[in-house]
Amino acid sequence: MSDLRHLRDDFPILATTMRGHPLVYLDSASTTQKPIQVIDAVSEYYKTLNANVHRGAYTLADEATTAYEGARRRIAGFIKAGSPAEVVFTRGTTSAINLVAYGWGLERLGEGDRILLTLMEHHSNVVPWQIIARHTGAELVYLSIDEDYRVDLTDLESALDERVKIVAVSGMSNVMGTIGPVQDLAAAAHAVGAVVVVDGAQMVPHLPTDVGDVGADFLAFGAHKMLGPTGIGALWGRPELLEEMEPAEGGGEMISDVQLYESRWAPVPHKFEAGTPPIAQAIGFGAAVEYLEKVGMEAVRSHEVEITGYALERLAEVPDLEVYGPRDLSERGGAVSFQLADIHAHDLATVLDEFGVAVRAGHHCAKPLMRHLAVPATARASFYVYNVEEDVDRLVEGLEEARRVFGLV
């Protein structure tokens, strides 16, 4: 972990204090902090390149377009896409999944068809499919979670048949840290002709990602969970599917011609990017990917395994604490959810805040999973490249104080 400690100097917010304590930020599964390199990239666009892209016949617009499309190329390279045209800019992971749901699912699903999900999905990979099912008459079916907090594949053979047209699965749980069995599900899905959609919001920032190896047909992910700005994300799709898919939004930029009663779409990926795009955010996204490439995703993963392992060891020392998620570090990421006795997660987070420790508390946009775990909410500590062992130690100190405050000692 000491190999990445020097990165903390790149994150200005880590120098701040909260309630008289140095900030310990443990909510990266919700949104990551931003290095100065990303902040500067966004600022420089507004100071030196501010112009609309793709449409201006002047130098500044050309330079803005070059920077914007350069970010697309870098992001495509980061996930080892075959071409930048396979990467569609969206508002984030949620809008990327919605784009597939409306652009692909709404056109192709009907009565008797099925959409296969898992109980560990974020609402972003549940609610769009509920809406599409309601419009088309398709049925939602779910794979459960086993006692080790992994997706239970016991019933896969009976659940996945020719009626299933879409399989939508998280690459990594934002609650339990569980790494989804994406490759296994993709192979089984393709065997029955189903399309595979992967929610990569947690996976792409934490694991080296090669879309060729993932096996998915669509992969959605967002910048703000990987050191980039909010309001920008990406959808990668297989080229032939993107060509077939309808745009979910219409307007400017996404057309090649508009007549009174019909229009022709612009080439992929632009047919999916209606209106003025989030130019500054895309450039910031590219800068975030450049930063992670310099760190090295193998190093990112190694650091996460080490600090998550240390966190699980220290949390095991806290009486009355239950941790949800795999113990095997090879099967999980850095999101660690827990419950301390019968203390509500919001109360626990309030006590931790008094120590400057920022954790998430609630259902984490995963209410079906919370019901499966039989808890109304959990507290969650989640780690990224800037976290160190001392952050974990402060978390444990805060938990011990919570035990005293609520009369557990």
Question: What region, left, alpha or beta, does residue 102 occupy, with left being phi > 0 and alpha being psi -120 to 50 degrees?
Answer: alpha
| Catalytic-residue membership of 365 | yes
Task: Label residue 196 exposed, middle or buried (CB < 10 Å: 0-12, 13-18, 19+).
Answer: buried
Please state, as a whole number, how many other Cβ atoms lie within 10 Å of the Cβ of residue 297. 16
Question: What region, left, alpha or beta, does residue 320 occupy, with left being phi > 0 and alpha being psi -120 to 50 degrees?
Answer: left
Nearest alpha-carbon partner for 358 in 21, 9, 1? 21
* Sign of the torsion angle spanned by Cα atoms 213, 152, 142, 301: negative
C-beta separation of 239 from 83 below 8 A = yes
3-state secondary structure (DSSP) of residue 288: helix
Strand partners, 222: 233
Residues making up the chain, counted from first to last:
409
C-beta separation of 185 from 167 below 8 A = yes
3-state secondary structure (DSSP) of residue 129: helix
C-beta separation of 275 from 252 below 8 A = yes
Strands (E), 333-408: 335-340, 357-358, 360-362, 378-382
Q: Considering 138, 323, 365, 379, which one is annotated as catalytic?
A: 365
Angle at Cα 203 formed by Cα 45 and Cα 254, nearest 5°? 45
CA atoms of 117 and 169, how far apart (whole Å):
6
Which residue's entry shows tokens 């990239």? 41
C-beta separation of 347 from 188 below 8 A = no
Residues catalogued as catalytic:
365
